[in-house]
Amino acid sequence: MARVVVTGGAGFLGSHLCRALLARGDQVVCLDNLITGSLANIEDLFGRPGFTYVEHDVSTYVWVPGPVDRVMHFASPASPADFARIPIQILKVGSLGTHNTLGLAKAKGARFFLASTSEVYGDPQVHPQPESYWGHVNPIGPRGVYDEAKRFAEAMTMAYHRYHGLDVRIVRIFNSFGPQMRPDDGRAVSNFIVAALRGEPLSVYGDGSQTRSFTYVEDEIRGFLALLDSDVVTPMNIGNPDEYTIRQLAELVIEVTGSSSEIRYAPLPVDDPAQRRPDISLARRELGWEPTIDVRDGIARTAEWFRSQLTPG
């Protein structure tokens, strides 16, 4: 049994992670300021042995009484809709929040786990993207607040590893989806499913030929835990190597939900990556990990959850 601090634990990925850690017998201290997270995501965990929730902004000083074995830093708004809405908070949680949680891990002698992102690759000029690729990022564009915050967080994490000898893990996450996503979070999967269930047009940006790789949350969490328990210190891609165009994704959502919605096209956002697909050779070799839930099945499960959440009519 380990005592694990999960920042952003009331968010989409964080809440699934808290649940998975408890299921394997770990104790969890969940920290979240609820800027994008929700207590509804973790309400089933209150009262469970080993679970503690603390409302806190990790961009300010972080301290947790008692022993801590793992610090898993998942706090950060991660949706395109947030980049313009709360850009300063995103930069602060990636920089100050990472510094503060690294400090907690150092003080406690705990292993530190950073939730980074495929966004560190920017609009990649190498395809698919291996961990050795340094990326192609516009630091002053509207996406830069998230991209550069995560790139800084990786640099800070490795600095603590090299200078302080801190035991660290870094995961680069590729377009995760599943239950407990925010209906209005601006990501393609949630946008499309909600619109399809409501019979509204699905908005595809550009001509829809840009590609992404979508990983169902259950596979993603399994990859996180495998990396957490491994000896790999350098960044690792955890994502689905199956690549879809955004138009293909929209068509799949309409088909799976049985919706009568149409596809409409809108201008392409600034710096929107043309393609994104992980090279998961490292994860396969070091963790024996690869996704097992295909996108169609994941979409069906996610749509069912959204259907249960949306107000009838």
Is 170 exposed, middle or buried, given 0-12, 13-18 or 19+ CB atoms closer than 10 A? buried
Output the CA torsion sign for 164, 168, 172, 177: negative
Cβ–Cβ < 8 Å for 16, 221: yes
**145 residue type, one letter:** V
Residue with tokens 């590609």: 211
Residue 127's Cα: distance from chain center in Å? 21
Q: Mind giving me the DSSP string for 251-286?
A: HHHHHHHT--PPEEEEPPPTT--S---B--HHHHHH
| Phi and psi angles of residue 70, each rounded to the nearest 5 degrees, phi first | -140, 140
Count how many residues are written for the chain: 313
Asked if 146 is an active-site residue, the reply is yes
> 244 - beta bridge partners?
212
Which distant-in-sequence residues (6+ apart) come within 8 Å of 119 by Cβ? 137, 143, 146, 147, 150
CA distance 41 to 240: 24
Is 313 exposed, middle or buried, given 0-12, 13-18 or 19+ CB atoms closer than 10 A? exposed
Within 10 angstroms of residue 164's Cβ, the number of other Cβ atoms is: 13
CA distance 311 to 165: 51
Cβ–Cβ < 8 Å for 258, 193: no
User: Out of 53, 61, 121, 146, which one is annotated catalytic?
Assistant: 146
Measuring CA to CA, which residue among 148, 85, 114, 151 is closest to residue 7? 114
User: Could you give the residue numbers annotated as active site?
Assistant: 146
